[in-house]
Amino acid sequence: MGRPFYSEPRFFLHKTHDLAEGVKQGQLRALAKAITLIESHNTDHSPAAAALLEELLPAAGNAMRIGISGVPGVGKSTFIEAFGLHLTRLGHKVAVLAVDPSSQISGGSILGDKTRMEELARDPNAFIRPSPAGSTLGGVARKTRETMLLCEAAGYDVVIVETVGVGQSEITVASMVDFFLLLQLPGAGDELQGIKKGVMEIADAILINKADGDNRPRAELARSQYVNALHLIRAKSDHWQVPALLCSALHGEGIAEVWETIRDFRRAMEESGEFAEKRQRQAGDWMWTMVMDELKQLFLHDPKVEALLPRLQEAVDRGITTPGIAARRLLEAFRRP
């Protein structure tokens, strides 16, 4: 790529090389430091973060990336713990990351809390990282995505990205993983109402948790309703029919079947060529999402736009001008030197 366009002090480059080596050797301390660098809000750290990522990229990409979402109370932590332990028992190294836009407000994270998944957190082959702080979903998501690459370079071969599903966070998580799993509660008919706009269509599997005891018949009924509903939506791929599965994370039932399903999915996608295709498309889309987010910020903070926007917005709201005319006037102002 030749020389980057911003200054890269030798001081930083030297340090980041050592850090990259530590990450590649799977050292937890190096991985934690690398993630801290990626997450830094200090723009002086950006060149070092970029150098680190570019050095580690060739070692990344080897994990199965799994997105998991579901409403609070669906049993996400219990499921991820049971699922993660199943995977480490099979010899996998598992990283659990989170995209939690609510951490913008709380400052802390309601996800990735190690006390939620005590046993998994103690497992030497598991790595749990709380959601990064950030002022925008795009910022939080970039950090999570780059942390995922660092974990892959450190040898984790399964990366789980979980989200609570606030706002657009499920769509964002789906855009960075290979497989998206939607956890649902058992229930039927009106009780089921509540899948968020667009979320059913990004799921690669629906998993009905808590399908145990008295819940079992309701879970079975819910499953058949989901199967019917999924039939109404055009399939994302000709090579994958989205299944509705049952499990009881609490009793450890149906956990192995989830991993089997994910492996079947991967096999089907690799055979059809869609696996690599999707990753390449995701990377391209990601670049454009970031460019557009940043362009919008540039536009909003342009002094000429700032001066005009309130009265044009008001004129549109009050029906004095059309959105099309207002947009053209704002752009005229932005382009004026």
List the interface residues with a copy of itself, window 111-170 (CB under 8 A). Answer: 142, 145-146, 149
Helix (H, G, I), strand (E, B) or coil at 254: coil
Instruction: Kindly identify the residues of this chain, within the stretch 163-222, that bind a copy of itself according to CB under 8 A.
Output: 189-190, 192-198, 200-201
Order of strands across the sheet that contains 94-99: 126-128, 94-99, 158-163, 64-69, 179-184, 205-208, 244-246
Give how many residues touch a copy of itself by CB under 8 A.
74
Give the span between the Cα atoms of 292 and 286, in whole angstroms.
10
Convert residues 65-84 into a mask of x (bound to a copy of itself by CB under 8 A) and - (unbound). Answer: --------------------
For CA atoms 228, 171, 109, 117, give the dihedral sign: positive
Smallest distance, a copy of itself to C-beta of residue 68, A? 19
Nearer Cβ to a copy of itself, position 83 or 226? Answer: 226
17 touches a copy of itself by CB under 8 A: no
53 touches a copy of itself by CB under 8 A: yes
Q: Which distant-in-sequence residues (6+ apart) come within 8 Å of 188 by Cβ? A: 218, 221, 222, 225
Smallest distance, a copy of itself to C-beta of residue 325, A? 5
Burial of residue 4 (number of CB atoms within 10 Å: 0-12, 13-18, 19+): exposed
Structure tokens at 45: 């750290």
Nearer Cβ to a copy of itself, position 9 or 284? Answer: 284
CB 125 within 8 A of CB 88: yes
3 touches a copy of itself by CB under 8 A: no
105 touches a copy of itself by CB under 8 A: no
Give the span between the Cα atoms of 268 and 138, in whole angstroms.
31
Convert residues 307-336 into a mask of x (bound to a copy of itself by CB under 8 A) and - (unbound). Answer: ----xxx-xxx-xxxxxxxxxxxxxxxxx-
Nearer Cβ to a copy of itself, position 53 or 111? Answer: 53
62 touches a copy of itself by CB under 8 A: no
Stretch that binds a copy of itself, among 8-16, 47-55, 120-128, 258-266 (CB under 8 A): 47-55
Phi first, then psi, for residue 78 (nearest 5°) are -60, -45
Nearer Cβ to a copy of itself, position 231 or 267? Answer: 231
